[in-house]
Structure 1
């Protein structure tokens, strides 16, 4: 409240700050829904989905159960950021995404080490990892605490 006028002053978030928050929110939703979709694809149709992963060969027959494990991993990787986003824990979301970025980096390295598709390793997995890191940085550099409000 202003002592001179007796009115309450409110601060509005600068347009650039709102844009960062909105971008972080949209990017998080894209990451969460994208990896969640991939997870479901590996659970529903593992053999046909695996061919796009970038490895030269993938498990078949009884060993194909490992593809379902990847599906569960990816589904959970989408649910965690979604839960943090929906509950407004944006700083924790940033840290969680930073931790989750290890998965696509690791996928890219594994594909390259196993002589898989270089294009897929970089164009899908490495690019995804960078996108997740950028999203995490946006979240971690938001002003304010739990919901990104100004301090």
Structure 2
């Protein structure tokens, strides 16, 4: 059971990291499509500055998450996941406040909140506190 939980957490975390990199890339290279998938519509008149900010934020968060995961820094993964869990909370609140939001656009943000919190707690409490860290 413990091994299955460990593999499941690893797989979900890796998929989360890959998805964040994908979402970030989409906001950088296809900002209008990414905005629609996010669940809001903002008139930008060709200025995608905030889309690029979100894109690089998600891309870097995903890369950092995968970097920590693949180097075995499980406690670091947990800390990072818990630290960035407020991001989808704010994203969800933005979608909820948007006029004419589509209910299905809420699900990815809700899933991100649950995964971030659950996986973060799992990695914090399942990792040996005496584990040597790569930086030491």
Shorter-chain TM-score: what band? 0.7 to 0.9
SS at match of 1:131: helix
Matches within 5 A, 1:11-90: 16-62=1-47, 64-90=48-74
Aligned-pair Cα RMSD in Å = 1.9
Relative distance call for 1:45 and 1:143 in structure 2 (3 A) is closer
- For residues 77-124 of structure 1, the C-alpha deviation after alignment (integer angstroms, 9 at most, x for no partner) is 101111111111101110110111111111001111233525145312
**How does the TM-score come out when normalised to structure 1?**
0.77
2:118 equivalent in structure 1: 134
**How does the TM-score come out when normalised to structure 2?**
0.85
Aligned length: 131
* Structure of higher CA gyration radius: 1
Greater helix content: 2
2:76 equivalent in structure 1: 92
Is 2:75–2:127's contact at 8 Å kept on the other side of the alignment? no
Relative distance call for 1:60 and 1:51 in structure 2 (3 A) is farther
Runs of 4+ off more than 3 Å: none
In structure 2, distance between residues paired with 1:60 and 1:144? 51
